């Protein structure tokens, strides 16, 4: 049997996972010398490249010294933890990347906890030792402390450590001795990561990922735990609910480099892709036809947040999108649930609206951004945390928030976090920065990033992860300012924006189309104000010797999708179309809003 190593690369966001995979692919001569590959080869969809993060895990393989190494590149952001949890099932060991300056971060703890619980063998890679102020020895101690706190076994605590720089393309067992390549890392993988365990018995393969081809349909991906799978083999698909479905494997592929090659059979221990099985879900088991035995069902952490997704019913409905009806919306959400295990969808009292549950703002915003690029029009409501009743006590999700800021702005950050029921636990120097750790309700984090970045002139580094459900912390004051709302439909004019600039900050430029009830700016006071920005200047046929002063208009404030989602309140929507993003009141007419507010009070 061919030597195989199955490894997952895990780390906090932006610690260099995908860059390291690039270097491994180049080192193992996967490309011609003159081939243009670019950087971040595995971040191959537009959203990943634009945001500089990994969203979906990827499988590749390389051959080194006669050993096939299957590599799983995983997302680093906490919102995509569901993706990490399921793909770790395919691995026997992990490469844990840690930044030589930042050390273990919240997501490092999360993914490490999952990997250690599955009994995976770790290799610690302390990356970016070329950075100024790096502290490899101190970070190594912090990683050991983290493993100890996560109750790692003695074997896991005896982890090998590799130092280096993914970007510069070198790895070494001693950070003071720079090498020419990353071969010491690959040698460590072969030496320390165990070969996949192979037990005797009939076929067992758990589906941990899926792909789609317009030619063959859905493709099941997973690692064969036991037995051998061959083309045209009859099998039993064992569903999570206990249902058995008879099926047959039509085509079989293994991972070779960046692609897949068709094979006749695959033995236990290898990762493969199976074509021909219908109706499967992630977590189902492909088993023997006559004596099927299921593997344990996967457990994925529950979502912590929900948002209302509804059809676009604004006056600009249907101008830009191809998919605009509630049928289009629910079909797309159901399709997403097939591969996104951390996502849940529930119907509401209205046939046009659905509650979508996810891991966080980024998790949901990536789904919305993907949908708008596919031609969907929709509206989304304010993100809400999921409240639970535990032993008769109302409980809410609490998160660990870590902020690294320049010392002179630490006071402002502490004030902003404590205003949102955050409790300061740790305050210590970290290089030339101040390291702050809080426990804060998930509600308090919504909209906090913008305030912190403003207060620190963009220099704060923020990270957070879910900790536990704890008793309700009380009311949290949200947005401190009201909004400017358009009272009419038409094009905004420079004349009116100029006249109203002392009333607040505008979100629209002159010449933009607006409608009644659309949010066009932020009011300088805490109340909402309805204004007219479509009225032009009254012209006369009298000549005058004095010219009008040229209008000086401040540039409009433009939100990203996540910023807009964090900005809106419970009576507002974000309208998302393929080309535009607008904020609006749910009730468009002012007199109807006033009536609704009176009834509520």
- Average pLDDT of span 206-220: 81
Q: Which CATH superfamily is domain 204-288 in?
A: Translation factors (2.40.30.10)
Residue 137's H or E segment, with its range, is helix 136-149
Residue 464: strand pairing partners: 401
Q: Is it the case that residue 36 has pLDDT exceeding 50?
A: no
Taken in order 358, 362, 368, 373, the sign of the CA dihedral is: negative
Say yes or no: do domains 204-288 and 483-540+550-566+581-600 share a fold: no
Question: Environment class of residue 261 by beta-carbon count within 10 Å: exposed (0-12), middle (13-18) or buried (19+)?
Answer: exposed
Q: How confident is the model at residue 428 (pLDDT cuts 50, 70, 90)?
A: confident
Q: What CATH number does the domain located at 3-192 have?
A: 3.40.50.300
Q: How confident is the model at residue 466 (pLDDT cuts 50, 70, 90)?
A: confident
- Average pLDDT of span 271-287: 86
pLDDT digits (tens, 9 = 90+) for 476-515: 877 778 899 999 999 998 888 888 888 999 999 988 999 9
Q: Is it the case that residue 41 has pLDDT exceeding 50?
A: no
Q: Is it the case that residue 158 has pLDDT exceeding 70?
A: yes
Mean pLDDT of the chain: 84
d(C-alpha 587, C-alpha 517), whole Å: 7
**What residues contact 180, with CB distance under 8 A and at least 6 apart?**
170
Q: Is it the case that residue 516 has pLDDT exceeding 90?
A: yes
d(C-alpha 421, C-alpha 477), whole Å: 10
Q: Which residues are annotated as a binding site?
A: 14-19, 127-130
Q: How many beta carbons lie within 10 A of that of residue 187, not counting itself?
A: 15
Helices (H), 150-230: 154-157, 183-192
d(C-alpha 266, C-alpha 570), whole Å: 53
Q: What CATH number does the domain located at 388-471 have?
A: 3.30.70.240
Q: How confident is the model at residue 109 (pLDDT cuts 50, 70, 90)?
A: confident
Which has the closest alpha carbon to 478: 448, 442, 438, 517? 448
At residue 427's C-alpha, the angle toward residues 421 and 429, to 5°, is: 150
Q: Is it the case that residue 201 has pLDDT exceeding 90?
A: no
- For residues 314 and 79, the model is more confident at 314
Token look-up 């050991």 returns: 144
Contact between 433 and 406 under an 8 Å Cβ cutoff? The reply is yes
Q: Is it the case that residue 17 has pLDDT exceeding 90?
A: no
d(C-alpha 242, C-alpha 400), whole Å: 38
- Average pLDDT of span 504-532: 92
- Average pLDDT of span 167-178: 84
DSSP string, 530-578: EE---PPPPP-S---SSPPPPP--PPPP---HHHHHHH--TTEEEEE-S
- For residues 188 and 300, the model is more confident at 188
Q: Is it the case that residue 536 has pLDDT exceeding 80?
A: no
Q: How confident is the model at residue 330 (pLDDT cuts 50, 70, 90)?
A: very high
β 518-523/581-585 pair status = antiparallel
Cα dist from 280 to 206, 211, 263, 277, 467, whole Å? 11, 12, 22, 7, 32
Contact between 123 and 36 under an 8 Å Cβ cutoff? The reply is no
Percent of the chain with pLDDT over 70: 92
Query: According to the model, what pLDDT value does residue 31 have?
Result: 45
At residue 511's C-alpha, the angle toward residues 510 and 513, to 5°, is: 115
Question: Would you list the domain boundaries of the chain?
Answer: 3-192, 204-288, 388-471, 483-540+550-566+581-600
Q: Which CATH superfamily is domain 483-540+550-566+581-600 in?
A: bipa protein (2.40.50.250)
Helices (H), 58-105: 81-87
Q: Which residues are annotated as a binding site for GTP?
A: 14-19, 127-130
- For residues 120 and 477, the model is more confident at 120
């Amino acid at each position: 049997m061919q030597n195989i190593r199955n490894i997952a690369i895990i780390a906090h966001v932006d610690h260099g996972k995908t860059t390291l995979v690039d270097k491994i692919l180049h080192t193992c001569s996967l490309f011609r010398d003159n081939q243009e590959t670019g950087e971040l080869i595995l971040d191959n969809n537009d959203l990943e490249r634009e945001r500089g993060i990994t969203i979906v895990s990827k499988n590749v393989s390389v051959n080194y010294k006669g050993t096939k190494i299957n590599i799983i590149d995983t997302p680093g952001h906490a919102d995509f933890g569901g993706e990490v949890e399921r793909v770790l099932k395919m691995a026997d060991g992990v490469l844990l990347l840690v930044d030589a300056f930042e050390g273990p971060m919240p997501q490092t703890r999360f993914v490490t906890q999952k990997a250690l619980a599955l009994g995976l063998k770790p290799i610690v890679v302390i990356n970016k030792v070329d950075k100024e102020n790096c502290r490899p020895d101190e970070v190594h101690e912090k990683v050991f402390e983290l493993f100890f706190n996560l109750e790692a076994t003695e074997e896991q605590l005896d982890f090998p450590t590799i130092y280096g720089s993914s970007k510069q393309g070198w790895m070494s067992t001693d950070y003071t001795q720079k090498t020419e390549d990353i071969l010491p890392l690959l040698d460590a993988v072969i030496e320390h990561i165990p070969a996949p365990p192979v037990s005797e018995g009939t076929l067992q393969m758990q589906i941990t990922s899926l792909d789609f081809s317009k030619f063959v349909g859905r493709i099941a991906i997973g690692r064969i735990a036991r037995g051998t799978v061959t083309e045209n083999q009859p099998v039993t698909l064992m569903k999570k609910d206990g249902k058995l479905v008879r099926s047959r494997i039509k085509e079989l592929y293994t991972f070779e480099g960046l692609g897949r090659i068709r094979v006749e059979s695959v033995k236990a221990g290898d990762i493969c892709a199976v074509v021909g099985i219908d109706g499967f879900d992630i977590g189902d088991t492909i088993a023997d036809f006559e004596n099927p035995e299921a593997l344990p069902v996967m457990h994925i952490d529950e979502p912590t947040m929900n948002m209302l997704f509804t059809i676009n019913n604004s006056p600009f409905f249907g101008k830009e999108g191809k998919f605009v009806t509630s049928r289009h919306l629910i079909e797309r959400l159901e399709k997403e649930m097939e591969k996104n295990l951390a996502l849940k969808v529930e119907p509401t009292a209205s046939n046009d609206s659905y509650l979508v549950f996810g891991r966080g703002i980024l998790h949901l915003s990536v789904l919305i951004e993907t949908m708008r690029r596919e031609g969907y029009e929709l509206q989304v409501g304010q993100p809400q945390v999921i409240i639970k009743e535990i032993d008769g006590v109302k409980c809410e999700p609490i998160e660990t928030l870590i902020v690294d800021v320049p010392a002179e702005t630490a006071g402002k950050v502490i004030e902003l976090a404590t205003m949102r029921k955050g409790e300061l636990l740790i305050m210590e120097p970290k290089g030339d920065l101040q390291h702050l750790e809080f426990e804060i309700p998930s509600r308090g984090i919504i909209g906090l990033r913008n305030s912190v970045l403003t207060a620190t002139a963009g220099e704060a580094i923020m990270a957070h992860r879910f900790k536990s459900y704890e008793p309700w912390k009380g009311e949290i004051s949200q947005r401190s300012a009201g909004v400017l709302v358009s009272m009419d439909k038409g094009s905004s004019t420079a004349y009116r924006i100029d006249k109203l600039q002392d009333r607040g900050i505008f979100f629209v430029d002159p010449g933009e189309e607006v409608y009644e009830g659309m949010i066009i700016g932020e009011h300088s006071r805490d109340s909402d104000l309805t204004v007219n920005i479509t009225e032009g200047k009254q012209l006369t046929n009298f000549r005058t010797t004095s010219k009008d002063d040229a209008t000086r208009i401040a540039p409009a404030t433009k939100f990203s999708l996540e910023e807009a989602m964090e900005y809106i309140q419970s009576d507002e929507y974000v309208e998302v179309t393929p080309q535009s993003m607008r904020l609006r009141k749910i009730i468009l007419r002012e007199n109807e809003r006033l009536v609704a507010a009176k009834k509520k009070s």
